[in-house]
Structure formats: structure tokens, C-alpha cells
Structure 1
Amino acid sequence: MNLPAPLLIFYVRNDALGDGLLRIPALRAARTAFPQSRIVYGSMHRSSLTGVLRRHAAPLVDDFRTIVPLSTILAEFARPGRPMTVVDFRTGVPALIVAKLQLLARGVRYEPNFAGHLLSSHWRARWTLRPEHNAWRYHRLIERLAGRHLPFDHRLEVSQAARVLAGQIRGADRRPLILLGGNSKGSNKMMSDAQVAAMATNLIEAGYQVLYLVTPGNGPTPQSLAARESRLVTIGPDLGLDVEAFGDLLLALGEIADAYVGMEGGLGHLFATVMTPTVIINHGANIERWRPLSNRVEVVTAPRRGRSANISDTPVEAILEATHRLLATSRRDHPEPAAH
């Protein structure tokens, strides 16, 4: 009798863009380590892996189940004789302990995202500290499950169609390209019109081509920016692209850009997948856990007012200083080939 393929279930609370991007290395490692397993990805809420990142996640996951309880997923995929493993990316020790006890009683192997891995240590397994960065935390869970080290790969592939469109948007302009982003659903993470316009003016006058990326959320609009700096080009919904195609275009632009400058969040993580040099304005996130995975990152910390920090309060001079420093070190460490 042919037994069903082993089942590997990933379960999360929800995936904003940055969350989904930081989980992709773990999904790749799981597909490498367990090629015969049926991989199911479930979530309590929505997931960017079924939206803007669908093209990149689809080869790694056999079934998506978003906004579905873990118990429902287990019941749907249960088969006689099928071994089941749950990798739980959620946080919150009490809830994870309850889930561990419940799944243990059902004979399901459970790998939870416990702090320090202390409560998830296995018999004869060497105890190790949990990595500081979230992406490596998720990846380490798969390595513990597999019992060996596995490749870590956070990069995303850029489609040729997106590269063509990016080239059309850039046109014949061959000035170094800078991308700006400042829209956010969180009021303390968005940038102001004045900040973006002042940055754009400085960079344009310094000899750069500057594009502002209009993404979902509050913040600058094409109309408000045009009124302040008419030379700034904006890229956004007026292109008529669906969410996946627009995400691919952003990757293609990041691939050719000298830098991206914007708030801490999903766009910074997206551009890290094509190794775009990045300036991040941080509103108070734990940057050790959320630092973009590219190798050239400058972090500017927003000033704190009482118990909170708003990115819109960050002095433009501090952002520009970090931007020019990043660009200067990039030219120093990666000079252009001499012309012949």
C-alpha cells in the first residue's frame, strides 16, 4: 500500500509584505530538505504569499489555506498513516505551549517559534540560541526539523516583462536612479509631502534621476508632490497594473537603482531581495529583527516624542546625509569599470 506523502504545515498569524518575504528562505529550505512532503501554508488572517508574492511562493507550497484555523487544516489533510509536522511561526509562549500539548496528544510533531528554542529542544538535540533576525529564526526551525544545515536564499527573480517595463519608465535618462517610498497604513510610518519633495529636490540637483513609488496607504500623492517638485516622477496605480505585476515592476526598478530611500517596512524588504542599497527610516522597530537582508543598509532613527516616534518628524538633513553617505561608499567599494 502506498502511504500518503508526509505533510508539512506552516502556520502564521498574518503576512504583511515584509513578513512574507522573510518567510520565503524557510519555505525554500523546507522544499529542499523535504522534497517528498506535501507543504501546506496556513494563516489566521491574510497573507502576502497569496497576493503580491504569489509567483515566488507558489513553487514552494502545494496548498494555501488563509484565514483558516490550524485545527481545520489538520482535519482536512489528515490521512491514515500519514505523518504530520506543524512549523508554527506565531509568537506568544502561552498559546504555543497549549498548541504543543494539543498536537502532542494527536501524534503531530510540532516545531514552534519559541524564544531561545528552550521549550522546543528535542532529546539529544544540542540547545542553541534562537537567531536575532526573524528570517533566520524561521530558517533555523527548518534546520532543526531537518537535522542539518540548509541553504539560506532570500532573493527573488525578476521577470523579463518587468525589466522591459522598467526600462520604458526610465527612458533615455542615464542619470543614477534613486527610488523613494513613503506611503504606509500606519500613521507613524508615513513620510510627509515636504520631506519627500525636499529629498527629491536635493537628489535631482545632485544629478540623480528620482522616482517616487506610490504604494497602498496614507502619505504623499502624485498631485501633492507635483505641486512641490515638478521634476519628480511618480509611479503608482495610474499604470493600471495588478498587484503582482506592480510588485514585479518594483523589483525590476530596484535591480537597476543606485538606492532606495524610505520607511522601515515591506518595500525595504522587497528591494533587499534584489540587493538594492537602502536607506531605512526607522520609527522604533527592533532593527536587529527587521533589518533588510541586503548587504548595504543605512538606518536613520526617527526622533521620539514621548512614547512614540513618527517618521514624518525625521529631519530631511539626516535622511539626505545617510543617503549621500551610502552612495559615496557604494562608489568607493564598487567603482564603475573604466571606459575604454
Structure 2
Amino acid sequence: MTHKVAVIGAGLAGLSCSSYLRRGGCFVEVFEKERTLGGRVATVRNGLIAFDSGAQYLTARSDKFRAYINELVSAGYAARWEPKTAPGESKGVQLHTWYVGMPGMSSIVRPLAESVRVHTGKKVHTLRQTDKGWTVWLEDETSAGPFAAVAVAVPAPAARLLLGRVEGMVEALSRVRMQPTWAVMVRLAERTLPEQDVYSDMSEVLRWIARNSSKPGRTVAGGGETVVIHASPAWSRETEDADPEAVAQELWSEVARQLSLPDVTPQQMSAHLWSHGLVEQALGESFIYSTHYKLGVAGDWCLGRLAEHAYDSGQGLGKAIIGSLT
């Protein structure tokens, strides 16, 4: 008998879990509130220009995730990124090799979504269990199911709302702390940033500055360059309710001050708030799964803040679900 499993969230953790479940013989349906896949491993478009607004690169520490990245590279979904991290460097000097999705970061989840039924633009409102299994209720008042098991792979605060009063889980998730992050995407008509491609922790306001167009496959047609800016968690928390246009202008002005840039007006500029952009305090476990309820949670926030943590968490939860259904 083929078991039907629902996965809530089409980020890296959710799709990693879905892929494992599919290989294990399950029929998988994924419900994602956004119109695109990838979660915080995101690529957004302003007109014809693509920006990596969320995760900036991948690193691999485990053999399992390194094997997955190698598959992505072989298939053309990822490539090495060797940015200049200090003036005069011909390539980056990092403890771990940096990889980026091709042509955008969200490409790294594409292979995981194969043979899985993904519903985008579908926000899950309620999970309800009966003697027939789990029913997924959506905000548009439609439903799907029954499912033999459910995997919830969304940020911890959202997961807590969906889990309701499931014994033990909500208490564990309450330990997780996540912080907001403002991301600003800038297009410049001419090359404006200094020689260096990436900067980190430049001030109390700025956590990250990157020449997005220095990544493989992201050359700007007609010249110029693109830049992605991430604000610090503290500044982002203080300005969570601010107008995005004002945030974009403030952060670009801060970049100009810190890098002593000439007075340049960007061709395009937009800001996006990742409400749960960074993990401040992780759960400390790879995932949580209740064999009694056939319900589990996964995410980078289970182990840390790396994309690899999300991938490993999803794989672990997928394995646990299959073990409970067979």
C-alpha cells in the first residue's frame, strides 16, 4: 500500500524530506504558502534581474550534503563562487568552499521537487486528525487528505501555531529563537562597489553586503552590477514595521557611507523583510517526530542556521516517517 504524506513548506527542509519520502515509496503532497519554491533559499526578480535575497551561498561539512552539492554541480544547478573577500585577492579565502545555485539560489531545490506534487500559493490553516488520518485545511477553505503522516517544515513560530496542543512538541519549539532580517536588492547602472565582492558585519546596521553579479551566471546585461544587502538582526528587529522603501534607502545610504561610495542613484532598489531570517537559538535536535500522532517538524532551526542543517533535518524526518509507516 502506498502511503500518502503531506509536507507543509517547500523550503530546503520540506523538499529534502519530500524527496526522501518519495524515494521510500510514499505519495507526497507539498503545500507552500508562497508562489515559489525554496523558502529562504530564495531567488527574486525585479524585472529581468534576479537577486539572491535570502541564503547567499552553500557550504558542505557532511559527506551526505557534499554528495548532494556535487550532484547539483554535475547537473548544472550549482557552481562554485570564489568572491574577492579582501582587496587584491584573486579569489576568496574561505574555510569551506562556497557554492551558489544556478542561475539563482532557488535552483538548489529543483531536483528535490521532482516526482512530488507541489501546491504553491496554498497556506495551511489547520491540521486535523481523525481515525482515517490527517486532513490539511487551507486558508482558502479547501482541504486535502486524508494523509497517513504530516511533516511540518516551516519556521519554528509558524510550526508552533500548526501543531496546536500536540503533547511535547510545542514546549520544545518554544525554546527556538529566530530573528528578522531585512534584505535590500539594488541594481546599479555602473560598477560602483570597490574591488571587494563581499563584506560582513560592517557596522551595527549592516550584516552583509555582496556584489550579487559576481556570482556565476549573474552578469548584468548592458553592464552595471547588482548588490544584495542584509541588515543586522538587531536593526531589523527595531525596524520590522518600517516602510520597505524607507528601509531600502536607509540601508543603501549606510552602505555608501561605510564603503565611501560616490553619490550614485540606483536604477532599482527594493526591500524584503524575512520575518524569521536567522536562527538565534536552535532546537538542538535534528527533528522531532511523534510515532503516535504520525506528525513531525523539521527545519534549519532544529540544528542551526545553515542550509545544510535544513537538508539534514528534512532527510532525518523523512526517514523517521517511513520507519513509522512500514
TM-score tier after normalising by the smaller chain length: 0.3 to 0.5
Point out the structure with the larger helix share. Answer: 1
TM-score by length of structure 2 reads 0.34
The one of the two structures with greater contact order (alpha-carbon pairs below 8 A, sep at least 6) is 2
